[in-house]
Structure 1
Amino acid sequence: MKKRLLFIASTLLLGGCMQAQEDITNISIMHDFEIPTALPFEVDQKQTIIDIQHVDGIHQYITSYDNDETGQFLKYILSQHQTNETFVHDTLPHNDRYDEIFQLDNGTILYYLEGTQTQSIYWAEKDNYVATFTYMLRDTDGLGDYKLEVDELIDLVIQVHHS
């Protein structure tokens, strides 16, 4: 009796999993975004990851650029929450959580943050996306001579921003 019950339970679970898999494969998700073409350092490796853990949750598109010799590393992250209407407001830095604010000619506000090991710039993108460029050096205690000018980060934003 136990073997039969276990077989029936596993068959039902397996059938449920297969149905869930069929539902997921039939969902089409369309997003359109640009990636930068001119970077402030030579790139040896580029990788793009699409992170969608739940269809109704956060969708993230992460492109990383790496220079093995210098250790320079840049991440471009686009994040969008499918159901949270305050995601952009909640995700962008507020009050004392940024070092400087810049404004593009089209009115887009950029939030710049600088730490000892990273430089980041955030902005709201169309369709309720939050976009971020984060620059760092691998295996070091600070940016040192490789620190980017803020204008170099802003240039990256201009390359990818949808106005």
Structure 2
Amino acid sequence: MSRRNRNVLILVIVAFIVIMSVMRNRDNEISEVVDRSMRYTFQEPYRFPFEVDEASSEVAIDNPDSLHQFIFRYGNKETGQQLSYIVSKLVDNPPTPADGPNRERHQLKNGRAAYYEEDESSQGIWWQTEKGFTARIIYGIDGYQTPLGDRKLTLEELIDLAQQAQ
């Protein structure tokens, strides 16, 4: 084998090694992305305190490396009533606390603490799931812009919705 052929062969082998190394790094990066996939199963409420005639769901992907958030919406077009079931998790961080200064503590049947809060135009109940998610059910009227008045849900109705989502 001539010196020139040997140099070409060495160059081809080095190029092959470099290409394989780059491909391996690329595969590792792809594997890392796959490992951060958002595959979860959630129980959704199925019994509502008002007639539901529209429903939608959304995966919020604003920052998938740090926040996984899933939003399920249920509504009644005629009455404007709506319910949002939101499940979120900070990736690689401890769960966000569900308690707060203006939240009343209650207990779900499974022993988990749930926290109730309300203002003029919304009511909500928050809790931690066993998979480390912060879950909340928020009720309101007309995009949470209309005062609830006499259309407020009872605390028992909100707790029932939370129990269904366990």
Per the shorter chain, which TM-score range? 0.7 to 0.9
Contact 2:109 2:163 in 1 (8 A): no
Which of 34, 54, 68 is the equivalent residue of 2:77?
Answer: 68
Q: Of 96, 100, 116, which residue of structure 2 is paired with 1:112?
A: 116
Equivalence for 1:11 = none
Partner of 2:99: 93
The C-alpha deviation readout for 1:11-53, integer Å capped at 9, x for no partner, is xxxxxxxx8xx949x6243211111111111112100001133
1:6-155 → structure 2 map (5 Å cutoff): 23=30, 27=34, 28-85=37-94, 87-89=95-97, 92-94=98-100, 96-98=101-103, 100-138=104-142, 141-155=146-160
4+ long deviations beyond 3 Å: none
Rg larger for: 2
Q: Structure 1, unaligned stretches of length 5 or more? A: 1-18
Q: Mean alpha-carbon deviation: is it higher for 103-112 or for 123-132?
A: 103-112
CA offsets per residue over residues 83-103 of structure 1, 9 Å max, x none?
112x323xx232x231x2111
TM-score (norm 1): 0.75
RMSD across aligned positions (CA): 2.2
Aligned residues of 2:59 and 2:71 also touching (Cα < 8 A):
yes
What amino acid is the match of 1:49?
A: E
Give the Cα separation in 2 of the matches to 1:82 and 1:51. 14
Residue segments in structure 2 that go unaligned for 5+ positions in a row: 1-25
The residue aligned with 2:6 is: none
TM-score, length basis structure 2: 0.74
- The equivalent residue for 1:157 is 162
Task: Tell whether the 8 Å contact from 1:64 to 1:75 is kept in structure 2 after alignment.
Answer: yes
Distance in 1, Cα, partners of 2:59 & 2:65? 15
Q: CA offset at residue 160 of structure 1?
A: 1.0
String of CA shifts for 1:49-108, please: whole Å, max 9, x gaps: 0113334211011000111110101000000111112x323xx232x231x211123321
- The answer as to whether partners of 1:78 and 1:129 remain within 8 angstroms in 2 is yes
* Contact 2:123–2:138 (8 Å) recurs in 1: yes
Distance (whole Å) between structure 2 residues aligned to residue 106 and residue 64 of structure 1: 24
**Aligned residue pairs, count:** 136
Give me the identity figure in percent: 36
